[in-house]
Amino acid sequence: MARFDYDLFVIGAGSGGVRAARIAGQHGARVAIAEERYFGGTCVNVGCVPKKLLVFAAHFGHDFEDAAGFGWDVPQKPTLDWERLKANVAGEVGRLNGIYRRLLEGAGCTIFEGRARIAGPNTISINGQTVTAEHILVAVGGWPELPDQPGAQEYGLTSNEMFSLPKFPKRLIVAGGGYIATEFACVFNGLGAEVTQLYRGKQILRGFDRDVREFLGEELVKSGINLRFNTIISRIEKSGDCLMVSLSDGRELEADAVLYAIGRRPHTADLGLETVGVELDDKGAIRVDADYQTTAPGVYALGDVTNRINLTPVALGEGHVLADRLFGKMPDRAVNYDNIPTAVFSIPPVATVGMPEEEARAKGIPVDVYRTNFKPMRNAMAGREQRTLMKLVVERESQRVIGVHMVGADTPEMIQAVAVAMNAGATKQTFDQTIGLHPTAAEEFVTMRTKAPEPLPMD
């Protein structure tokens, strides 16, 4: 008779949890998984997937305008049906929910719907029932925050609510300068809203290459976004049918909606972690070692709940590796955290892999930098002023490419392939010896020959 009810109990059916459960099941483990909200987690339901669908929708606003430059007559100004867009996005999200559930069922996993809590060593309680498992995996992800500023809790929105707004906001204020804030500012600007984006710092996308940050900021202003730096919201009050938003610089703005995209916290509250001694850091993230082991024997954690590299593909990779180690007899399996590509689906999008120039220099790595800035063919015909930035950061001694950064159309599709080359150890000479694909923007990566001048001192 088995000592435990399950070999693995997964708390959280997001990307990492589902992958771990599914692979463990395929290895023959007895697996259960609990989800209190929706299968697929943030990414599928209120994150990457529906946001990318809204990005597609926002692009059409520009496409209708650009068509005239290519000989098309658009008979009347197109209008957005927000209710239809919401319904279609929700339909696609629902389809993906079903796929995630079927993947788990196909792997033989037992599914519990509800909030699971650790009740003691190897013990989980859910829906009034208690079960046991040899291994417990916590993969509950993160949750968006609202600040304590007056009116924020009553009138502020988080990214979770932006996909189901009852009414399209003609005037939107976005607080924040990271991925989520910038993407939603671009989406609603493209859909026809008047957007103001506020950021407390000097430039958006902290942590990205400085050229990328400055270039994108300029492009967002060109597109019509009112981008304000060194500014935060101090108060929100209701004023008739709109919101009156007071800013830290003393100004006031009227808005129909206010989005706070100022950060996310690991969703670790009320999980019973303290009952087995799982340690958290000062941000509420679960502390783990290189094997995803927490401070409690038999309890593991991965993905955004550990607040390390908060990207869906990273959680997927970690879930797969953990299942292979525990049940697939592959103790040496590991996630490669080098050269992880990432994208910001702004308009235009940003994609990057490897080190920003500033990081390399801060580490004392002598680098050569290659950079180009141009107007793409399509925009020249369309009469659109949007430009593209491409940049290579090359380790001077070895000539190995250690950073690739781009802002422009189709950027994420290009950077995925570039990441493969970088992980294979590509040098600048490898790029130089590669024949370009013409006419494309991507060919610029293999035709840049002139080094950029040494930078001015950093701020």
List the binding residues.
52, 176-183, 263, 304
Question: In the annotation, is 438 catalytic?
Answer: yes
State which H helix or E strand residue 112 sits in. strand 110-113
- Residue 173 and residue 196 in contact, taking contact as beta carbons nearer than 8 Å: yes
* CA 18 vs CA 9, 136, 240, 320: distances in Å: 11, 13, 45, 9
User: Nearest to residue 21, comparing CAs of 3, 9, 4?
Assistant: 9
Marked catalytic residue, from 27, 267, 320, 438: 438
Q: Which amino acid is at 294?
A: T
- What distance in Å separates the CA atoms of residue 301 and residue 384, rounded to the nearest whole number? 47
List of E strands, 280-400? 299-301, 342-344, 350-354, 367-374, 388-395
- What distance in Å separates the CA atoms of residue 455 and residue 193, rounded to the nearest whole number? 38
Local structure of residue 94 (DSSP, 8 states): H
Hey, is 61 helix, strand or coil?
helix
Q: Show the 3-state SS of 113-155.
A: ECCCEEEECCEEEECCEEEEEEEEEECCCEEECCCCCCCHHHH
Can you say which residues are annotated as belonging to the binding site for FAD?
52, 304
Sequence-ordered list of residues with C-beta below 8 angstroms from that of 111, at least 6 positions apart, any chain: 13, 32, 33, 34, 35, 101, 104, 105
- What distance in Å separates the CA atoms of residue 183 and residue 351, rounded to the nearest whole number? 13
- What distance in Å separates the CA atoms of residue 421 and residue 216, rounded to the nearest whole number? 25
Can you say which residues are annotated as belonging to the binding site for NAD(+)?
176-183, 263
User: Which sequence positions are flagged as catalytic?
Assistant: 438
